[in-house]
A = this chain, B = another copy of it.
Amino acid sequence: MATMVDIAKRAGVALSTVSHTLSGKRPVSPEVREKVLQAMSDLNYQPNALGRALRNKSTRTIALLYPTAFSDIPESHFEFVSGIVEETSERKYGLLLWTNTDEDQEVFTMAQQGFIDGLILMEIRLEDSRVKMLRDRNYPFTLIGHCRENEGINFVDLDFDYAIHTSVEHLAQLGHKHIAFVNHSVAQLEAGVGYIVRSEEAYHHAVEQWGLDGHSFSCEPGLDASYTTVKMVLTQHPEITAIVTGNILVSSAITRATYDSGLRIPEDVSIVALVTSRFAEMTAPTLTTIDFPSRKMGHMGAEMLIRQLEGEQVSSQVLLRPPLTIRQSSGLCMR
């Protein structure tokens, strides 16, 4: 592979001249410029990003540190990734995918020291040691999600409080009195994962506010567990006529579990899910949702980070409130 030295030699100019015809950061006479460009095309020259990065202390590459749970529920994570990668491509940045292998906090920031300019984190806990560490080190990052205490941190998140309240309100207005909430696993709730805790709290608050009978259930990971949980909810709590869930596996298991319990949607059971509209329309019946704006969140998270990297003093903390979209899975309470 040809380097700048090769180009300089062939064009009969100095190394710095080659660099400057490339960057345009200082004037180069047309004739010299022409010679250099000719040499480049002759030698099929491509600048080496590594040399440049070492010098510039910037790689124009960011990393997404996604949870290991990724492999368990790819459906709910891939739209984030799509959004992020669309934004990074747009802005000519690279995107590196990292797994959160363990809680060894040093590892991830430092393992590839110098390789990336910034980091996007997901599955944020209310108290998140990773976030603390990054903030302490003054490392550029943004969150998809947010902590309990977020001073000086850029993030984008769904407003889960709003989302759950709106879901419960919708069902309450349809006459439902017994509304269940199916959350994620106990382990995740206890680990303090932000959206899981916030959803749980918002749900209890909402049912209280509407004077409803509410039960919340947790659900272990996996499709089978989701199916079993929904079936259990429906059979052991026959008074329940509506279910709210933010768990994508639950929302996909729910139709089958309902039919298998001899119930119909929405005549016997109404459902409101916090999933992407795309996903909501892939099921039969289609699901009434608060449209989870995963892709948009990915876009915004990446955009915020890149702006920050490019020196803009942005400070943004965004809580999205996407609309309730009524589809086939929710209807008047018939009981």
Interface residues of A (CB under 8 A from B): 1, 46-51, 53-54, 59, 61, 70-71, 74-75, 78-79, 81-82, 85-86, 89, 94-99, 101, 110-115, 223, 249, 252-253, 255-256, 259, 278, 281-286
Contacts and interface: CB of A to CB of B under 8 A. Distances in A.
Contacts of A89: 98-99, 101
A49 B115 contact: yes
A249 B101 CA distance: 32
A94 B115 contact: yes
B49 A71 contact: no
A89 B286 CA distance: 37
Given A70-B82, A74-B82, A223 B278 contact: yes
A35 to B, nearest CB: 21
A97 B75 contact: no
B61 A54 contact: no
Given A59-B50, A85-B99, A94-B96, A223 B281 contact: yes
Contact of A252 (B47, B78, B282): B282
Interface centre among A1, A95, A99, A284, by most B CB within 10 Å? A284
Contact of A78 (B78, B96, B115): B78
